[in-house]
Structure 1
Amino acid sequence: MPLIIHSRDADKDMEQILKTEYLKQPFSAVMHCFSSGQSLANTAIELGFYLSMSGIITFPKSHNLRNIFSKVPIDKILVETDSPYLSPVPFRGKRNEPSFILNTAKVGASIFSMSINRFSEITSKNFDRLFKKASN
């Protein structure tokens, strides 16, 4: 089972912890609701972790976050709702619902210049690869 990591406002500390612990015993992980900087994204990618995009990616002022995700290998991307929080545009400020994930995925697809169907197929396969037991 992969480690689920939710890190906010602690990029340098998190980078150090991840590198130190990974050297002791390699593990798989997902950076849940990723909204950190490029350096932590790079560390996560170097360690083979997945980065999960939430509704934050749809916010008008999230240009930097979209740029960071554009540099992540597509086979390391996941999409999530983070329900009941962080509803994507145009539902921002409302209680997040699982059905809103399509709005987040559409922005993800645009970041990678692909159709929503192709993006959904890839991110679903990524989920299956990371959470093997869940997909059986």
Structure 2
Amino acid sequence: MSGLDPDELTRLRVDLARIARGLDRHSRGSELTRTQVSVLGTVVVRGPIGMGELATIEGLNPTMLSRLTGKLEAAGLLVRDADPADRRAVRVAATEAGTAEHGRQREERARLLARHVDGLPEHHVDGLRAALPALDALATSLRDPR
């Protein structure tokens, strides 16, 4: 059993979802969905990446990922090509426009978070700072496909 009781786990899940939705609502200047933003970010950060690895990281089935990357490619944010190590495999890379869009979104979300965090009482800011290692560990644990 976890160190949090069921009510605390529910609060954590709901609060994290509300934060994510609030960031989406107030910072998505483009027409990208949350999943498209995530895929684009992974490709920008990881560099050219195989579709199989990208599907695993993003937790998406290959068909859904193919549709998403097709839309991002049509928008000029990604390019797909054959993997030089295995011509049968497909990999994706960010375009200059994709990298710029990712950077724009990161900056916009950082400014939005900073504005709201700066408006909190200092003891809440200290609590958020103290919680960062635990949130990092939780995010890493949830990202692990096992």
Structure 2 length-normalised TM: 0.27
Q: Which of these two proteins has the greater Rg computed from alpha carbons?
A: 2
Q: Which has the higher contact order (CA 8 A, sep 6+)?
A: 2
Structure 1 length-normalised TM: 0.29
More helix per residue: 2
